[in-house]
Structure 1
Amino acid sequence: MVVEASSGVLQGFYTPLFSDIADKLAIHDADINWLEATQLLLSAIVLPVLARLGDMFGHRKVLIGSLIVTALASYALAFSTSFPVFLIAWAIQGFYVVWLPMNVSIIHSRARNLPNGAALTRRGAGIIVVALQAGAILGALAGGQLGVMAPLWVTLLVPAVLVTIALVVVIFKVPDPGVRGGGSIDTRGTMVLTLALLAITGGLSLLRYNGINAWVVAMVAIGAALLWLFIKVEQRSDDPLIDISMVRRPEPWPVFLTSALFGVSVLGAQGPLSTFARTDPAEVGYGLGLDSANASYLIGAYVVSLLIGAAVFSKASTVWTPRLVLIGASALVAGGYLSLIPLHHNFVQVLACMMVAGAGSGALVAALPAAAAAAAPAQHTGIATGLTNTTKTIGGSFASSAFAIALASGVTATASGEESTAGSLSGYMTVWAICGVTAIVAMVVLFTVPKVAFQANDPSRAEGDGLPAASAVPDAVALSSDAALPSAAAEQEDKS
């Protein structure tokens, strides 16, 4: 919980400060999206590798390593004074993306030998996601308040200190569940995937400077071809980075596609939300004109709605199937963002729309990794849960690049006639429309999932993969305390 609370702080703390960071680095508001795009791109590249390393050598070891890297990058952010240095440190900080899948994998490994292990994993995922969202709330509020009270570099030190504390807690308090999958790293597949993502993101970045041209089309086409090649390489690999046969199963592939579509809004749209709230309507005719302190209340309320969605996910999935919960959550995301198109003129309207979208987003954040873990072979839970974050970050990275282009197009002049550094209103509407439409597509995709998916562990999967069935796992990987996860009896009580 401490790790996910720290992750939440990282995800919430900087958001009210984006306009201040843009001023410090002397960049356009739209360029904030390139920070997000770069971090998400690196996250998408390293996450499958780290997830594979977690399955091979232990999820706890990978968790500790990623905490160290994230802490160092967070300290670098506080002392960076140029955009390139800040951009590099911001990208490297994205190693925190592996924390949630590693934590879910640790929970799953410790719950496998208990009755209703899949339900316990879902419930455990809900608990740590609540901690994540609580951290994001506190982070957003603290970041906004400190932003008007202290120098920016002092304010930016706070997340670095919290990540350091989380590292100490994991080292001394989190036991190793002892589950290993063996295998090796698919270097060839990693290189092809990296080149594919770089080509597509690079092509999108060129749109801002020259519009659609032959270079843009060529780079995106090369990226798409490399993604096709990546799939072929993985199919022929004895130890693939991503098990394509697993991805193609009827239960997990809609989850992974939903994660990619969900990443568009939950990751790509956070920068635009902050900069819209900070935009002064007296200068450009739109925006809320909030300072960092007041913007933190809007962002904090949004994250509260994520927390509520995450908290009710486990209960809702015992009343309805997890599949229906995923569909309903996607509908809330779609409704919230599409409502912003006509309702963005004051604080109350934006708050109401974002809380609707946030409730659905919170449920999806908790549901998707747990659904992937329940649908995956026992020795690939790290890869499966990691792949939900990988696809989510890929979706967020591409969306952030597209949003940066949209916000920079049609920039409005200020009241004094000078060119504004604010994003354009048409750009913000484009952002909200894309977020809503992708959520609707996710709903359609989820209707293809079998109705009884993700509801129980399948012991035969473990046996077929060369691992003992859940009931035969040694006591060493059993849950060591009731504090870590609710008991099976409690879960049965909830169902009754």
Structure 2
Amino acid sequence: MPILIALEFFSGLAQGWIIPLLGQISKAYDVPIGATSWVLAVGLLSSAVSVPLLSVMGDRFGHRKLLIVSVVLAAAGSILIALGSNFALVLAGAAIQGPVAAFLPLAMALLKTHRAHSANKDVGLIVGTLTFGVAAGSILGGFAMDAIGQLHLVQLIPAVALTAFIPLVALVVPKSNPDSARSVDWLGAALLGVALVGIMYGLSEAPHKGLLSLSTLIPLLVGIAALLAFLKVERLAKDPLVDIPAMRSARLTSPLIIGFLVAVTMFGNQSPPVLFLTASPETLGYGNGLGASGVGVVVAISSATLTLGAFLSFALSRTLGRTRALVISCLLSAAAMLCMAFVPSSTVLFTVWLAASGIGTGVVLGVLPGMVIERSSESAAASVAGVYNTARTIGGSLAGAFVASITTLLVVSSNGDQNSAAPSFEAFQTIWVTFAAVNILAAVVSALTARKTNGVHN
């Protein structure tokens, strides 16, 4: 479906566009550069909460209808990011834009309905197009900023593009057959939202206030209690937001765990390279001192290799087997993260490490959705795809909170001005070593899964 491919491209464009602009956002709203990581973290949290609900509602009311709702929300959030008069409004816009992540599971469900014979291959194409959009957004956003020089105007460009898709989706995308007997688990959605917000807020407060402070403990405890209540409600719900027994019977546990772990690196490592590349080596002792367009080129190369990995995933999984492809790809990403942390890097070498990580992550992202859509039933395709994407966005949102906390806690400053503080090099090492360990764990989970299935590549 060309319209779905085009929509995923512009979804990626909007997500990648803001990455090279983080430094400009810091200057425009007079906030520390490390604090801009919260723009991405808030967006990921919003996605984690909204995607499962929108996906289930797609199964209940129709996938096209909920795709239109998602596009409207994403466009509205993008407009608020562009026109917001203060940093709080930018964060609010990022939260409203969160349903942009629902485009993929709803598109996966539409493919399952209308192109079941080729859904597995088509999903890989759409994922590749999404990552290509991120690459294009990363480079075009930086060049647009250097050419136009007005942050608000530059940020309006992807907002206008998303807005144009509202009537296109309504007119071109075919309807699916909604399951009118399916109920919506509103209580489960509310509990999941409270759980994620509480846990993320508690984690964000811990580095500043201490793990045992009330401002850390209270939201953490509330979040954990809500999560436990959510799991109990899901077991009793007629149509749960997350059907855990069904996930197990469909052998979806391992794809969900691997997707969660790899998303920690993919989403969590969006802002650190930008902060590192824009840092002045004369002032901070590290970095490359690049401008917005230079950062855009490097990030675009990284995103392009992510796209390459996604496009190659189908062929690699057939040649090597899914398990070997997953293990090798995860280990490649881990090695790249360790190189970023410990190997002295020029701009060229740093780009090589990012590219290697991108290829590894891209292969994983191309393999996993096919496994998920292949094992799901048509009646619950969007719900299952939504759970997979939710696992990814939860991993990304937690990683975003971790990165934002580390880059605002471990800082250096040349003149004592709080707003001139920048992350220390130790902050980047902490982040990249953690992400390397997470990728190694994902490789282990992939290998153990194959062992449990008696060597069958799942």
Same fold (TM over 0.5): yes
- The 5 Å alignment of 1:382-393 reads 382-393=382-393
Distance in 2 (alpha carbons) for counterparts of 1:168 and 1:131: 21
Matched, 1:163 2:159: no
Distance in 2 (alpha carbons) for counterparts of 1:152 and 1:192: 37
Contact 2:250 2:375 in 1 (8 A): no
C-alpha displacement at 1:248, in angstroms? 2.7
Contact 1:407 1:426 in 2 (8 A): no
Distance in 1 (alpha carbons) for counterparts of 2:205 and 2:228: 23
Distance in 2 (alpha carbons) for counterparts of 1:329 and 1:110: 31
- The 5 Å alignment of 1:412-427 reads 412-414=412-414, 420-427=420-427
- Identity among equivalent positions (%) equals 28
Matched, 1:209 2:213: no
Distance in 1 (alpha carbons) for counterparts of 2:55 and 2:14: 20
Distance in 2 (alpha carbons) for counterparts of 1:98 and 1:108: 16
C-alpha displacement at 1:179, in angstroms? 5.5
TM-score using structure 2 length: 0.93
Distance in 1 (alpha carbons) for counterparts of 2:257 and 2:308: 24
Distance in 2 (alpha carbons) for counterparts of 1:344 and 1:142: 28
Q: Tell me: CA distance 1:167–1:326, structure 2 relative to 1, closer, same or farther (3 Å).
A: farther
For residues 25-46 of structure 1, what are the alpha-carbon distances to aligned partners after superposition, in whole Å with 9 as ceiling and x for unaligned?
1111111122222111111111
Q: Which segment is superposed worse, 143-152 or 367-376?
A: 367-376
C-alpha displacement at 1:393, in angstroms? 1.0
Distance in 1 (alpha carbons) for counterparts of 2:48 and 2:195: 11
Matched, 1:83 2:87: yes
Helix, strand or coil for the counterpart of 1:156? helix
Contact 1:336 1:354 in 2 (8 A): yes
Helix, strand or coil for the counterpart of 2:448? coil
C-alpha displacement at 1:143, in angstroms? 0.5
Helix, strand or coil for the counterpart of 1:148? helix
- Which residue in the other structure is 1:272 paired with? 272
Residue 121 of structure 1 is aligned with which of 108, 119, 126? 119
**Letter in structure 2 aligned against 1:372:** V
C-alpha displacement at 1:139, in angstroms? 1.1
- Which residue in the other structure is 1:239 paired with? 239
Q: Tell me: CA distance 1:452–1:99, structure 2 relative to 1, closer, same or farther (3 Å).
A: farther
Contact 1:2 1:166 in 2 (8 A): no
Helix, strand or coil for the counterpart of 2:249? coil
- The 5 Å alignment of 1:54-453 reads 54-112=58-116, 117=117, 120-150=118-148, 151-178=150-177, 180=179, 182-215=181-214, 216-249=216-249, 251-414=251-414, 420-449=420-449, 450=453, 451-452=455-456
**Letter in structure 2 aligned against 1:108:** K
Q: Tell me: CA distance 1:290–1:198, structure 2 relative to 1, closer, same or farther (3 Å).
A: same
Q: Tell me: CA distance 1:166–1:329, structure 2 relative to 1, closer, same or farther (3 Å).
A: farther
**Letter in structure 2 aligned against 1:149:** A
Q: Tell me: CA distance 1:185–1:179, structure 2 relative to 1, closer, same or farther (3 Å).
A: closer
For residues 98-132 of structure 1, what are the alpha-carbon distances to aligned partners after superposition, in whole Å with 9 as ceiling and x for unaligned?
011111111122233xxxx3xx2221011112221
Contact 1:42 1:92 in 2 (8 A): yes
Contact 1:260 1:391 in 2 (8 A): yes
Contact 1:2 1:169 in 2 (8 A): no
Helix, strand or coil for the counterpart of 2:423? coil
Distance in 2 (alpha carbons) for counterparts of 1:399 and 1:102: 24
Q: Which segment is superposed worse, 128-137 or 261-270?
A: 128-137
C-alpha displacement at 1:262, in angstroms? 1.5
C-alpha displacement at 1:182, in angstroms? 3.8
Contact 1:288 1:345 in 2 (8 A): no
Helix, strand or coil for the counterpart of 2:85? coil
Helix, strand or coil for the counterpart of 1:212? coil
Please, which runs of 5 or more residues in structure 1 have no aligned partner?
Answer: 455-496
Distance in 1 (alpha carbons) for counterparts of 2:36 and 2:248: 36
Q: Tell me: CA distance 1:61–1:323, structure 2 relative to 1, closer, same or farther (3 Å).
A: farther
Contact 2:203 2:401 in 1 (8 A): yes
Question: Normalized per residue, which structure has more helix?
Answer: 2
**Letter in structure 1 aligned against 2:222:** I
- Which residue in the other structure is 2:17 paired with? 13
**Letter in structure 2 aligned against 1:378:** E
Q: Which segment is superposed worse, 214-223 or 197-206?
A: 214-223
C-alpha displacement at 1:252, in angstroms? 0.6
- Which residue in the other structure is 1:490 paired with? none
Contact 1:30 1:407 in 2 (8 A): yes
**Letter in structure 1 aligned against 2:69:** G
- Which residue in the other structure is 1:461 paired with? none
Distance in 2 (alpha carbons) for counterparts of 1:308 and 1:296: 18
Contact 1:323 1:446 in 2 (8 A): yes
Q: Tell me: CA distance 1:250–1:173, structure 2 relative to 1, closer, same or farther (3 Å).
A: closer
Distance in 2 (alpha carbons) for counterparts of 1:294 and 1:68: 32
C-alpha displacement at 1:157, in angstroms? 0.8
C-alpha displacement at 1:165, in angstroms? 2.7
Distance in 1 (alpha carbons) for counterparts of 2:81 and 2:335: 36
C-alpha displacement at 1:167, in angstroms? 2.6
Contact 1:122 1:366 in 2 (8 A): no
Distance in 1 (alpha carbons) for counterparts of 2:410 and 2:75: 38
For residues 71-90 of structure 1, what are the alpha-carbon distances to aligned partners after superposition, in whole Å with 9 as ceiling and x for unaligned?
11111211112011111011
Q: CA RMSD in A?
A: 1.8
Please, which runs of 5 or more residues in structure 2 have no aligned partner?
Answer: none
C-alpha displacement at 1:65, in angstroms? 0.9
C-alpha displacement at 1:417, in angstroms? 6.3
TM-score using structure 1 length: 0.86
